Amino acid sequence: MGCLSETMNILAELQSRFAAALTDLAPDPQAYAAMVRPAQDARNGDYQANCAMPLARIVGAKPHDVAKTIIDRARLDDLCEPPTVAGPGFINLTLRREFLEHTLAAVAADRRFGAPAAESPKSIVVDFSSPNVAKPMHVGHLRSTVIGDALHRILEFAGHQVLSDNHVGDWGTQFGMILYGYKHFLDAEAYVADKVGELARLYRLVNQLCDCHDARESLPRLRAELEAATAKLPALEAAAGQDKAAQAALKKARAELDKQREELKTAERKVAAVEQDPAMRELADAHPGIARAARDETAKLHAGDPENRALWDEFLPACLGALQRLYDRLGIQFDHTLGESFYDPYLPEVVRQLASRGLAVESDGARCVFLEGRNAPFIVQKGDGAYTYATTDLATIEYRVKEFGAQIILYVVDARQSDHFEMLFETARRWGFADVECRHISFGMVLGEDGRPFKTRAGDTVGLESLLDEAIREARRIVDENDDSKRNEHDQPAPELDDAERAAVAEAVGLGGIKYADLRHNRESDYVFSWSKMLAKTGDTATYLQYAYARTRGILRKAEAAGAAAGTAPIAMAQPAERALALHICRFPEAVSAVAQEYRPNFLTQYLFELANSFSSFYDACPVMKEPDPAVRASRLRLVDLTGAVLKKGLSLLGIQACERM
RNA sequence: GCCCCCGUAGCUCAGUUGGAUAGAGCGUCGGUUUCCUAAACCGAAGGUCGCAGGUUCGAAUCCUGCCGGGGGUGCCA
How does pLDDT run across A203-244, given as a tens digit for each residue? Answer: 999 999 999 998 898 888 888 888 888 888 888 888 776 677
Q: Measured between alpha carbons, how far is A592 from A646 in angstroms, rounded to an integer? A: 12
B3 C1' – A563 CA distance, angstroms? 67
Measured from Cα to the C1' atom, the residue closest to B26 is A539
B18 C1' – A604 CA distance, angstroms? 25
Q: pLDDT tens digits for A79-120?
A: 999 999 998 899 999 999 999 999 999 999 999 999 888 888
B62 C1' – A167 CA distance, angstroms? 38
A377: nt with nearest C1' to CA = B74
A557: nt with nearest C1' to CA = B36
Q: What share of chain A is helix, strand, coil (3-state, %, to 5)?
A: 60, 10, 30
pLDDT the model gives residue A311: 96
Give the CA dihedral A476, A482, A487, A492, nearest 10 degrees: 60
pLDDT the model gives residue A8: 85
Measured from Cα to the C1' atom, the residue closest to B58 is A88
A368: nt with nearest C1' to CA = B74
Q: Domain ranges for chain A, please list them.
A: 10-95, 123-170+318-447, 173-305
Measured from Cα to the C1' atom, the residue closest to B37 is A551
DSSP string, A575-590: SHHHHHHHHHHHTHHH
The stretch A390-413 carries a mean pLDDT of 97
Reported as type and span, the H/E element at residue A217 is helix A195-239
Q: Measured between alpha carbons, how far is A427 from A421 in angstroms, rounded to an integer? A: 10
More confident site: A623 or A458? A623
B67 C1' – A243 CA distance, angstroms? 16
Query: Using alpha carbons only, how large is chain A's radius of gyration in Å?
Result: 30
CA distances from A232 to A201, A254, A260, A417 (A): 44, 10, 14, 34
Residues A454/A421, Cβ–Cβ less than 8 Å: no
A51: nt with nearest C1' to CA = B19
**Chain B bases near protein Cβ (<7 Å):** 1-6, 12-21, 23-27, 34-42, 57-58, 66-77
A363: nt with nearest C1' to CA = B74
B76 C1' – A149 CA distance, angstroms? 27
B24 C1' – A501 CA distance, angstroms? 32
Q: Measured between alpha carbons, how far is A95 from A92 in angstroms, rounded to an integer? A: 10
| Residue A4 binned pLDDT confidence (cut-offs 50, 70, 90) | very low
* 3-state secondary structure at position A409: strand
Q: pLDDT tens digits for A117-162?
A: 888 899 999 999 999 998 889 888 999 999 999 999 999 999 999 9
The stretch A59-82 carries a mean pLDDT of 92
| Beta strand residue intervals within A241-386, DSSP E | 360-363, 366-369, 378-381
Q: pLDDT tens digits for A245-256?
A: 777 778 888 888
B45 C1' – A636 CA distance, angstroms? 36
A610: nt with nearest C1' to CA = B24
pLDDT the model gives residue A151: 98
Measured from Cα to the C1' atom, the residue closest to B40 is A616
Query: A123-170+318-447 has which CATH code?
Result: 3.40.50.620
B1 C1' – A605 CA distance, angstroms? 43
B17 C1' – A526 CA distance, angstroms? 21
Measured from Cα to the C1' atom, the residue closest to B75 is A382
B61 C1' – A51 CA distance, angstroms? 18
A295: nt with nearest C1' to CA = B76
B59 C1' – A205 CA distance, angstroms? 55
A45: nt with nearest C1' to CA = B20
Measured from Cα to the C1' atom, the residue closest to B73 is A376
Identify the CATH homologous superfamily for domain A10-95. Answer: Arginyl tRNA synthetase N-terminal domain (3.30.1360.70)
